[in-house]
Amino acid sequence: MTLYETLFVVHPERAARVKELIERFKKVIEGQQGTVTAVDEWGLRDLACRIDKQGKGFYTLLRYESTGHGVEELERNLKLTDGILRYLTVQADEKTPTTSPSVPRHAPEERAERFERN
């Protein structure tokens, strides 16, 4: 059993269904004898680049202990689910926080404003 974390981005129009999706993925992990240790909803954030014509996405992080087969099964489910823009699974480090950097990305806009003033 290894500690993994999966971060996935949900289509903004399906953000209302995120809770449902989380429950589903939890069941997938538990179905593979894994245990979910943390669920963290980061919320709607700006994407750094457009994905499927969307500028925003709903980020959610799952941290869980599982075998490699559990990860395979979860990723298969992520691929099958509609409205998942992106996902990323990595081996997690217990020391790193699950929370998102709470500040949303406004840096590019600020930069643009400054540019205009000059």
**Min separation Cβ 30 and another protein, Å:** 24
Instruction: Return all residues near 63 (Cβ < 8 A) that are at least 6 apart.
Output: 3, 4, 5, 36, 37, 38, 39, 40, 92, 98
The sign of the torsion formed by the CA atoms of 83, 88, 93, 98 equals negative
**Min separation Cβ 92 and another protein, Å:** 10
Footprint (CB under 8 A) of another protein, residues 59-118: 61, 85-88, 90, 93, 95-98, 100-101, 103, 105, 107-108, 111
Q: How far apart are CA 56 and CA 105, in angstroms?
A: 11
Residues that bind another protein (CB under 8 A): 7, 9, 47-49, 51, 57, 61, 85-88, 90, 93, 95-98, 100-101, 103, 105, 107-108, 111
